[in-house]
Amino acid sequence: MRIVSLPNALMAFTLMVPVASVAEDTDIELLRAAIDELRADYDARIMELERRLAVAEQNAAQASYTARSPAPSQAQSSGQAAFNPAIGVVFQGTLWGVDGPGTDSEGFAVGETELIMNANVDDKFAAYLTAALAFEDGESELEIEEAWVEATALPAGFGARFGRISSAFGYLNAKHSHQWDFADLPLPYQAFFDGRYLDNGVRLTWLAPTDTYMELGGEILQGEGDPSGLAASTLFANVGGDLGSVGSWLAGASYLERDNMASLTGAHLIWKWSPDGNWKDRNFVFQTEYFDSGDDGVDGGWYAQAVYQPFARWRFGARADGLQTNADDPRRYSVMFDWSNSEFSRLRLQFTQDRTGAEDGSEWGLQYIHSIGAHGAHEF
Amino acid sequence: MNKLITAVLLCALPLAVNAELRVFACEPEWAALADEIGGDLVESFSATTALQDPHYIQARPSLIAKVRRADLVICSGAQLEIGWLSALMQKANNRKVMPGTDGYMEASSFVLRVDATADVDRSKGDIHPQGNPHIQVNPHNVTTVARALSVRLSTINPDNTDIYSDNLNRFLVDWEASIVRWEAAAASLRGKRAIAHHNSWVYLLSWLGIEEVANLEAVPGLPPTAAHLSQLTTRFSSGGADVIIRAPYQHGKSSEWLSERTGIPAIVLPLTVGGTDTATDLFTLFDDIIARLKEAMDDV
């Protein structure tokens, strides 16, 4: 280690000062400019290199993807399991209480557990199965709600579905119970179909090539009277569109003829709203249906409901439903609110005031709807 | 002679109409790209706007009617549209655009998607097993999709291959030049740290060299919780992040709440074309993204 003595350092300093003072200012400026230029040049070169690197990376990524099919890239798997259908299970149950004339009861009921499976059969057919598992009167029951095959490659806007289907009559009939906004179906569905109208048969639809949605269709169904017959048929038409970017609507009419029963005509109107069309946080749905029957006992039925989601997770709804009979006109008024932690779980509280009997009654229910596995997109 | 002219006209008219391809884009960025590559030959429609969360769209009748007449459906994919697209497809009765055909294209399948996972469990929120679908906010991804789209338009409509190819080349010259410009302008953002409302920005941030240090959503897809926000307040009260980012359709309450308590600026960035007044096409989209990021962070 060399130690510089103070005198030596001083001498070096005094020697340097004159040299510095002699040097011209322009030289320093030139040097500075040269260094700046060098730095800028390097910056530019580094940036260019980074850009080239990014492009090279991108090209490499692209090269590795051109080998793959541009169709939806599912995880590649070679086993049979890769062709497994989408499977979903929906769990439902209700804690309920009734306070009516002569009855005052409460209990816990595990509702239908829905098992849903679907997949494309091949490039021209898709198949779908919904089975409802229920426990009633001490026995486990398995009911096939829907089991149909759909033709997916028909030309000119035609569609066909055959097997066990939920009829396209009305609006709510096609919805599974986990999609309902209230714990039970409105009175007209209970009176005319004893729930939903599910039957075996064939459906044909045609969608018009217009900007306004226009669907026409018909069904030929087995009917309930004759187990081997083709004794029921429907015709239906639906139109719909948007109202600006915030609203959309669907209106429809349907006609049902069944053996040994009076014909039924239905009309429905659905209007949905959300700010800017952004559904996630805030939205509103109004929905009404009217059934008219040639039946002597029950002339018709109707319901109207509104459901509002003021912010994510919470929804509030009100519904009025009723029947027109030659004896009296039963009415019900329901309110509900529900909380959904995600799209897959929902807890609902519902109160219903019942004016169906001679005296008023009331019901309450606390319902859960939980869904696991694959869950297909919901229709409008 | 007149008859001949009429006959020629009659033959030409349907051709002129047929030359138009109807493109149904799930998101505005792909409609904008279809306009760039297809030019006058394409009539594009976007199912969603920049003010709507594309995860949550109603399968509206108007959208079914549009899919019914579409020649090409282009979507981000990677399950971004899982909640509504299949319902449209099922009702639309249009075999030309069914998944698996030439008329259906998932943009994200052409680029390297990040965060793909086999660990699929819904307790972890809105999981996309095939990777993050918000690929449009890296312009290099747009380049790749533009190439693929040009090929696809030529496949469906081979008569106009030259036009699609010319349009692509013209677009890419401008686009690559713009990328150089954006990267130069954003050089000062390298190394900054961002908090994102939802993980919509991973491709943008990795492109610009900005680190994503946290999300406002504790679990992807579910609204930010109070517990998670107060935890973030503690974590970032003495720095550690330079900006809080959200998309126009995300509620501003959470990011502004955190911004007030930590002093970190909260900004809205357009996630796609139309997200802000200035982001009117793909070029101005990135102009605006970078301008807004610089405005929030360069002065700090």
**Residues B96/B70, Cβ–Cβ less than 8 Å:** yes
Q: Which residues of A touch B94 (CB under 8 A)?
A: 157
Is residue B38 within 8 A of residue B167, CB to CB? The reply is yes
Which one of B95, B125, B144 has the shortest CB-CB distance to A154? B95
Residue of chain B nearest A240, judged by CA positions: B61
What CATH number belongs to B188-297? 3.40.50.1980
Q: Domain B14-181: state its class.
A: alpha beta
Going by the DSSP 8-state scheme, the letter that residue B79 receives in this structure is T
Q: What one-character DSSP code corresponds to residue A379?
A: P
Nearest CB to A207: which of B48, B93, B98? B93
pLDDT for position A50:
67
**Residue ranges, CATH 3.40.50.1980, chain B:** 14-181, 188-297
Can you say whether residue A136 is alpha, beta or left, with left for phi > 0 and alpha for psi between -120 and 50 degrees? beta
Residue A213's H or E segment, with its range, is strand A213-221
Degrees, nearest 5: CA angle A71-A76-A80: 110
- One pLDDT digit (tens) per residue for chain A, 380 residues: 444 454 454 444 444 444 444 456 778 888 888 888 888 777 777 767 766 666 566 555 544 444 333 334 444 445 666 678 899 999 999 898 888 776 777 788 888 899 999 999 988 999 999 999 988 778 888 989 999 999 999 999 999 999 999 999 999 999 999 999 999 999 999 988 888 999 999 999 999 999 999 999 999 998 865 566 668 999 999 999 999 889 999 999 999 988 777 889 999 999 999 999 999 889 999 999 999 987 767 889 999 999 999 988 999 999 999 998 877 788 999 999 999 988 899 999 999 998 876 678 899 999 999 999 888 888 89
Can you give the pLDDT at residue A181? Answer: 95
Find, among B177, B161, B152, the residue nearest to B71 by Cα. B152
Chain B nearest-CA distance from A68, in A, is 9
Highest mean pLDDT among A88-102, A293-307, B106-120, B278-292: B278-292
For residue B95, what pLDDT band results from cuts at 50, 70 and 90?
very high
Facing A157 at nearest CB: one of B68, B130, B148: B68
Mean pLDDT of B97-108: 92
For the record, the structure tokens of A171 come out as: 């609006």
pLDDT at residue A24 in the model: 62
How many contacts, defined by CB atoms under 8 Å, are there between A and B? 173
Residues 6+ apart with CB under 8 A from B249: A276, A278, A280, B50, B51, B52, B53, B271
- Smallest Cβ–Cβ distance between B58 and the set A75, A123, A380 belongs to A380
Query: Which of A73, A123, A210, A243 to probe by mutation at the B interface, max B CB count within 10 Å?
Result: A73
Mutation test of the interface with chain A: which of B68, B102, B105, B119, choosing the one with the most A Cβ atoms within 10 A? Answer: B68
Select from B51, B55, B62 the residue whose CB has the most chain A CBs within 10 Å, as the one to mutate to test that interface. B62
Q: What is the chain A residue with the closest CA to B223?
A: A312
Instruction: State how far the Cα of B112 lies from the Cα of B102, in Å rounded to an integer.
Output: 21
Residue to mutate among A58, A176, A278, A314, with most B CBs inside 10 A, is A278
Q: Which of residues 39-58 of B touch A (CB under 8 A)?
A: 48-49, 51-53, 55-58
CB neighbourhood size of B257 (10 A): 19
User: pLDDT tens digits for B133-144?
Assistant: 999 999 999 999
Burial of B206 (0-12, 13-18, 19+ CB in 10 A): middle
- Give chain B positions within 8 Å (CB) of A377: 59, 82-88
* Candidates A70, A239, A379; nearest CB to B105: A70
Strand partners, B137: none
Question: How far is B195 from B213, CA to CA, in rounded Å?
Answer: 6
What are the sequence ranges of the domains in chain A?
7-62, 88-373
Contact: B51, A281; criterion CB under 8 Å? no
Which token pair is B29? 């960025």
- B93 touches A at CB < 8 Å: yes
List the beta strands (DSSP E) in chain B: 21-25, 42-46, 72-75, 104-106, 193-196, 211-215, 243-246, 266-268
Residue with token string 């769990």? A91
Taking CB atoms and an 8 Å cutoff, what residues of chain B touch A281?
251
Are the CB atoms for A154 and A207 separated by under 8 Å?
no
Would you state the pLDDT for residue A352? Answer: 93
**Chain B contacts of A380, Cβ < 8 Å?**
58-61, 64, 87
C-beta atoms surrounding A131 within 10 Å: 16
Does B59 contact A378 at a Cβ distance shorter than 8 Å? yes
Q: Is B122's Cβ below 8 Å from some Cβ in A?
A: yes
Average pLDDT of chain B? 89
> Chain A residue with minimal CA distance to B110?
A65
Q: Phi/psi zone of residue B281: left (φ > 0), alpha (ψ -120 to 50 degrees), beta?
A: beta
Taking only the tens place, the pLDDT of each residue in B161-210 is 999 999 999 999 999 999 999 999 999 999 999 999 999 999 999 999 99
Selecting from A153, A211, A342 the residue whose C-beta is nearest the C-beta of B95 gives A153
Residues of chain B contacting A245 with CB distance shorter than 8 Å = 49, 51
State both tokens at B157: 């409509």
- Which 3 state secondary structure label does DSSP give A35? helix
Order across the sheet with B266-268: list the strands: B211-215, B193-196, B243-246, B266-268
Cβ atoms A266, A257 nearer than 8 A: no
Q: Which residues of A touch B52 (CB under 8 A)?
A: 276-279
Residue A285 pairs with which residues in a beta bridge?
A272, A307
Instruction: Give the burial string for A45-77 (b: 16+ CB within 10 Å, else e).
Output: eeeeeebeebeeebeebbeebeeeebebbeeee
- CATH says A88-373 is which class? mainly beta
- Looking at chain A, the number of H-run helices and the number of E-run strands are 3, 17
CB-based contacts of A215, cutoff 8 Å, min separation 6: A205, A206, A207, A208, A236, A237, A238, A239, B91
Please enumerate in sequence order all residues whose Cβ is within 8 A of that of A178, keeping only pairs 6 or more positions apart, or say none: A90, A92, A114, A369, A371
Shortest Cα distance, chain A CAs vs residue B39, angstroms: 22
Shortest distance, CA A343 to any CA of chain B (angstroms): 9
Q: Amino acid letter at B57?
A: I
pLDDT tens per residue, range B223-244 = 888 999 999 999 998 888 999 9
| Residues in CB range of A231: below 8 A, 6 or more apart | A221, A222, A223, A225, A258, A259
Residues contacting A152, CB < 8 A, separation 6+: A120, A123, A124, A125, A126, B95, B98
Upper half-sphere CA count for residue A4 (Cβ side, 13 Å) = 8
Run of H or E including A116:
strand A113-120
Q: Tell me if A248 and B58 make a contact (CB, 8 A cut-off).
A: yes
Cβ <8 Å between B104 and A71: yes
**Cα separation of B34 and B47, whole Å?**
14
Q: Do B56 and A280 touch (CB under 8 A)?
A: yes
Give the whole-angstrom CA distance, residue B53 versus residue B48.
8
Chain A positions in Cβ-Cβ contact with residue B197 (cut-off 8 Å): none
**What pLDDT shows up at residue A335?**
97
Angle (CA) A273 A279 A281, round 5°: 110
Phi, psi of A179 (to 5 degrees): -95, -10
Q: Are residues A280 and B83, on separate chains, in Cβ contact within 8 Å?
A: no
